[in-house]
A = this chain, B = another copy of it.
Amino acid sequence: MCYFTYVPTLAYKIPIHRLCELPPMATLKDIATACGVSIRTVTRALKENGYVAQPLKDRVRAEAQRLGYRPSRIARSLKTRQSFEVAVVLWNADELHLAKIAGLEHALRAHGYTVNILYASGRPGAEDDIPAPVEELLHHRPAAVAAFAGPRFDKQADGPRLEEASIPFVVFDVYDPGVDSVRVDRPQGVREAVLYLGRQGHQRIAYLGCAADVNRLQGYHAAMGELGLVPQLLELPDDRGRFDGAREFAATFARLEDRPTAVQAYSDETALGFLAGLQAQGVRVPEDVALVGFDNRMAAGWASPPLTTVAQPNWEVGQAAAEILLAKIAGTPPPAGGWSRSVPTRLVVRESA
């Protein structure tokens, strides 16, 4: 067993096994000898990038077909110094993340790219035993990087390092003006949901969440302004888990005078915690209080009553990220206003509101 001990930033030793080799595939040379022409002619015939007599071209293509020829990505990458892998940095196993990755992968695959996962947290409970993701990225040199914001991906420090290595990247759901990001349009999503509540006849519509989250609040205030209603913020402590925090808050809420008849919650988790708390207090949803979540997780559909919620446009977010990355890889200059984009959400009306 031999180790690459000379890679100091890589915490792992990489054992080189006696590995099984991949079975040989047809190469350009195989086609060339089979057709009795040169390898250069073959590429020309296959790639349409030079002159080659039509009958010969047909013959070459038929032969390529017959041999099941596939261009070797490896050889191509070596020669052209281009990678065809896009790395995704992620920190937790969230269904919403995976849905975004699915959209990203779909779009990138259409362009011959492959998506690889870099799960940057260690085993749950032992998170620190792995190298920082940027080191890994700098090591593997993907064509581009899509990152979920996380504890050990520092937008300030890591972004520039990637940029310096000229690796294009986007970050999901970050509002930092300095970094290119694809985000779900939370202001618009909340606005739409609150307008819906208004159309249902609610006069006292509150927002339940942490005041530090400006994006959703912005949409809330916009909608309340449009409706001509006075906003009411039900502020949640940030220290407790969102579920428990909201559940406990329900007791306070239940005793409120002139209590709101409708609540837009920060997230499905918050909404579900609040729902649990309300039911414990004997407050009925939606009869006494209409409740809207945000995210459209599986859990939202499985609540009782099933939760009305704002669905994240996961697939579209992933696709937008792919488009940005492809453009950056191709060296396209950024559009006026920068690369960042917000993708509209969709209100999913179920039974809670």
Contact = CB atoms under 8 A, between A and B. Distances in A.
A116 B104 CA distance: 12
Interface stretch (A80-88, A177-185, A196-204, A226-234): A80-88
A99 interface: yes
A37 interface: no
B109 A20 contact: no
A46 to B, nearest CB: 5
A114 B112 contact: no
Interface in A70-92: 70-75, 77-78, 80-83, 85, 88
Interface stretch (A151-159, A213-221, A275-283, A341-349): A275-283
A304 B279 contact: yes
A4 B65 CA distance: 12
Contact of A71 (B4, B24, B121, B122): B4
A243 B83 CA distance: 44
Contacts of A123: 103, 106, 315
A21 B109 CA distance: 19
Contact of A48 (B5, B109, B301): B5
Chain A's interface size range is 35 or more
Given A85-B116, A275-B304, A314-B93, A70 B106 contact: no
A70 B330 contact: no
A47 B24 CA distance: 27
A2 B106 contact: no
Contacts of A141: 22, 25
Contacts of A82: 19, 21-22
Contact of A78 (B69, B78, B94, B272): B78
A46 B80 CA distance: 26
Interface string A246-279: 0100000000000000000000110011011001
A243 B302 contact: yes
B12 A112 contact: yes
Q: Which of A5, A20, A326 has the most CB of B within 10 A?
A: A20
25 contacts: A2-B49, A6-B46, A6-B61, A12-B109, A14-B112, A17-B330, A22-B82, A22-B83, A23-B166, A74-B78, A78-B78, A93-B99, A94-B98, A95-B298, A103-B123, A105-B117, A105-B118, A109-B130, A117-B117, A247-B304, A269-B302, A273-B302, A276-B303, A276-B304, A303-B303
